[in-house]
């Protein structure tokens, strides 16, 4: 008996991204959310926000829940943004303000491999190139928080976490969702988006320095 595929259907049309001023980029850790969000922001001229940079303090200390919700509400109230990160407990607050969503749904094993490569890069990087929450001072670093548990979370993401995310997206049925399943999908969307954007959206031809 064939097991039905409960993943969201692939969607590659970047049309919604050409006009959206508030875009969520979500998906499994290691899927390429940060890279996509940075490139999308560069194309559109929208400011990019990485949730982990706001949520974690020194040594991976977490922001208290009520304080974090207040911060997410403040962030979501902005008129323009590309927000990268899941933090599923506060997804409804961000989704209520989003004009488009990019869901990157890469195979979990590929996400895990990307996560492990990222740990290696951070272990070798100069201290001033690390996210602030990885720096412990005096040249010390902590590049991961409970890496074994996090690896298990990545491998189980499609089964345990993605259904809740897709249900949340379905509840806000009016927001366009672009689903990407590979780096090739992401590259295709960004390329098409770059061709379709008016020059003043990217800062070219605006007469500004």
pLDDT in tens, 130-183: 999 999 988 899 999 999 999 999 999 999 999 999 999 999 888 999 999 999
φ and ψ at 26, to 5 degrees? Answer: -130, 170
Does residue 8 lie in a domain region?
no
pLDDT digits (tens, 9 = 90+) for 64-123: 999 999 999 999 999 999 999 999 999 999 999 999 999 999 999 999 999 999 999 999
Three-state SS string across 68-114, please? HHHHHHHHHCCCCEEEECCCHHHHHHHHCCCCEEEEECCCHHHHHHH
The pTM is what?
A: 0.87
In which element (H, E) is residue 49 found? strand 48-50
Over residues 188-196, mean pLDDT: 88
Structural domain including 140 reads: 15-200
pLDDT value at position 8? 52
pLDDT band at 35 (very low <50, low <70, confident <90, very high): very high
C-alpha–C-alpha distance, residues 151 and 130, integer Å: 20
Alpha helices in the chain (DSSP H): 15-19, 33-44, 51-55, 65-76, 91-95, 108-124, 147-155, 162-171, 183-196
Q: Does residue 1 lie within any of the structural domains? A: no
Q: Looking at the domain assignment, is residue 7 inside a domain?
A: no
CATH no. for residue 91?
A: 3.40.50.300
Contact (Cβ atoms closer than 8 angstroms) between residue 38 and residue 48: yes
**Structural domain includes residue 102:** yes
> Within a domain: residue 9?
no
- Count structural domains, the chain: 1
Cα distances (angstroms) measured from residue 7 to each of 40, 87, 165, 179, 207: 24, 19, 11, 10, 45
Residue 202 has a pLDDT of 42
Asked if residue 164 is part of any domain, the answer here is yes
The answer to whether residue 156 sits within a structural domain is yes
C-alpha to C-alpha distances, 160 to 82, 100, 118, 155, 199, nearest whole angstrom:
25, 24, 23, 9, 42
Residues 203 and 209: their CA atoms lie apart, in Å, by: 9
Is 152 among the domain residues? yes
Q: Could you tell me whether strands 56-57 and 61-62 are parallel, antiparallel, or unpaired per DSSP bridges?
A: antiparallel
């Amino acid at each position: 008996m064939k097991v039905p595929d409960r993943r969201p259907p692939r969607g590659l049309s970047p049309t919604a991204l050409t006009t959206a001023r508030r875009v969520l980029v979500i998906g499994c850790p290691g899927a390429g959310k940060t890279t996509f969000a940075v490139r999308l922001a560069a194309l559109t001229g929208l400011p990019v926000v990485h949730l982990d940079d706001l949520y974690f303090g020194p040594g991976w200390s977490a922001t208290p829940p009520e304080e974090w919700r207040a911060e997410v509400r403040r962030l979501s109230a902005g008129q323009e943004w590309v927000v990268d990160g899941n933090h599923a407990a506060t997804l409804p607050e961000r989704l209520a303000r989003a004009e488009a969503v990019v869901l990157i749904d890469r195979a979990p094993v590929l996400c895990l491999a990307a996560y492990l490569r990222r740990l290696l890069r951070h272990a070798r990087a100069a201290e001033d190139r690390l996210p602030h929450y990885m720096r412990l001072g005096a040249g010390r670093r902590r590049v991961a928080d409970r890496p074994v548990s996090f690896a298990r979370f990545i491998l189980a993401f499609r089964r345990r976490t993605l259904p809740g995310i897709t249900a949340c997206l379905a509840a806000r049925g009016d927001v366009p969702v672009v689903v990407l399943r590979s780096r090739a999908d992401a590259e295709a969307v960004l390329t098409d988006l770059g061709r379709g954007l008016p020059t003043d959206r990217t800062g070219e031809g605006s007469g500004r320095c």
